[in-house]
Amino acid sequence: MAKRLRYGLIGCGGCGVGKHLASYALYPDEVELCAVYDFDAAKAKAAAEQYRVPQVYATYEEMLADPRIDFVSVATPNAFHAPITIAALEAGKHVHVEKPISMNAEEAEAIVEAKNRNGKLVMVGLNNRFTELSQFTKQYVDEGHLGEVYHIRCGWRRRRGIPSWGGWFTQKALAGGGPLIDLGVHFIDLSLHFIGFPEPVSVSGATYSKFTGKPAKGKDAPPPMDVEDLAVGFVRFANGCTMSIEYSWASNVEREENFSELMGTKGGLRLLNGELTLLGESCGVPTNIVPQIKNTSSWGENEAKHFIECMRRRREPLAKPEEAVRIMRIIDGLYASAESGREVLVSPVAV
Ligand SMILES: NC(=O)c1ccc[n+]([C@@H]2O[C@H](COP(=O)([O-])OP(=O)(O)OC[C@H]3O[C@@H](n4cnc5c(N)ncnc54)[C@H](O)[C@@H]3O)[C@@H](O)[C@H]2O)c1
């Protein structure tokens, strides 16, 4: 049997433990859980006890200096993604970094450079790409059933759901933004993944902060908040396709929904709250087809399996950092447009 890949987790919060540690623990023949680190030593200790991880490091630098570690996950607040990912690459580790890859496109580009310089792999934690429904949808679009996809509508709108855990999600210096950078990366990425990542050329966006000062989900007191609670926007791509977006943590809509809707010349599809509907026409009549597929894998399970295979076979992972640079340029552009009140151009990047 090949040597097991030796793993370290940096950031032992909800996602680090609930997704990364829990998912890599599903593959004990492939992965040895070796070490954890968290800024908060008690959280690292609790994670180590729960998953029987032998080593708790006092700093991430010490973990990265351990030559036995092959790869790490970075699941800290967004502000630390780029510096820790780059340090891990320089230390010769493969990195599974959470979404968003970074605070902005400039940091994401620095990650790509460090990856190329060190010849290691980086995968971004875009778990929505790895669900059974998303994999089916990607295949369906690739087989040409929609024809030319010329417009996308995507979003994730919460009626009330400003995150309060940890406190950092609502602080620009730690998160980089509100629901656009938090929820937006998931469904902008997924929609562009379905249609082969066209190059964005211009964006127009608006952001709103109408719920600042109101109590967060399950809390009595308002969280410290200097980010938007709603972002809307419009993106034009070089191939003529367009995309409209809506992301909110709080808005007066009927109910929470996340969606990616593709409109093509031969057909359309709608992925809504984990239900897929194919929109076509038969015998001259519009038809809605519901594929009998359910998402059965747990959060991060397929994603972890994919990264293990990529490390074993030295293959570029899906959810590449180069694509994440493109996403971050869209997000940077939307925030810049929201601030200036004008459409802004997006510079090209190879993916
Ligand atoms: N892919 C998904 O579905 C998904 C879901 C939730 C969160 N996330 C992402 O995961 C990351 C973490 O989010 P979370 O919900 O786990 O937040 P969290 O607040 O629960 O956990 C963050 C952890 O990082 C620790 N931390 C803070 N600064 C650190 C530092 N400098 N070095 C090491 N650890 C540090 C905190 O003590 C905390 O334990 C974020 O980037 C978030 O966007 C992704």
pLDDT tens digits, 289-342: 999 999 999 999 999 999 999 999 999 999 999 999 999 999 999 999 999 999
Q: In which element (H, E) is residue 69 found?
A: none
189 touches ligand 1 (CB under 6 Å):
no
Nearest ligand 1 atom to the CA of 10 is: 33
Residue 213 confidence (pLDDT) = 77
Q: In which element (H, E) is residue 101 found?
A: none
41 touches ligand 1 (CB under 6 Å):
no
Whether the pLDDT of residue 1 is over 90: the answer is no
CATH superfamily of 129-298+328-345: Dihydrodipicolinate Reductase; domain 2 (3.30.360.10)
Task: Choose which CATH entry (3.65.10.10, 3.30.1360.120, 3.90.1560.10, 3.40.50.720) describes domain 5-128+300-315.
Answer: 3.40.50.720
To test the pocket of ligand 1, the residue of 21, 39, 123 to mutate (highest count of ligand atoms within 8 Å of its CB) is 39
Count of C-beta atoms within a 10 Å radius of residue 54: 10
**Over the stretch 252-267, which tens digit does the pLDDT of each residue have?**
999 999 999 999 999 9
40 touches ligand 1 (CB under 6 Å):
yes
Measured in angstroms, how far is the CA atom of residue 137 from the centroid of ligand 1?
29
9 touches ligand 1 (CB under 6 Å):
no
Residue 217 confidence (pLDDT) = 65
Domain with CATH 3.30.360.10 in the chain: 129-298+328-345
Q: Inter-axis angle of helices 105-118 and 81-90, to 10 degrees?
A: 10
For residue 190, what pLDDT band results from cuts at 50, 70 and 90? Answer: very high
Average pLDDT for the chain? 96
Alpha carbons 94 and 310: distance in angstroms, whole number: 10
**Over the stretch 53-109, which tens digit does the pLDDT of each residue have?**
999 999 999 999 999 999 999 999 999 999 999 999 999 999 999 999 999 999 999
Residue 222 confidence (pLDDT) = 75
Domain with CATH 3.40.50.720 in the chain: 5-128+300-315
pTM of the model: 0.97
Nearest ligand 1 atom to the CA of 165 is: 19
For residue 224, what pLDDT band results from cuts at 50, 70 and 90? Answer: confident
Measured in angstroms, how far is the CA atom of residue 130 from the centroid of ligand 1?
20
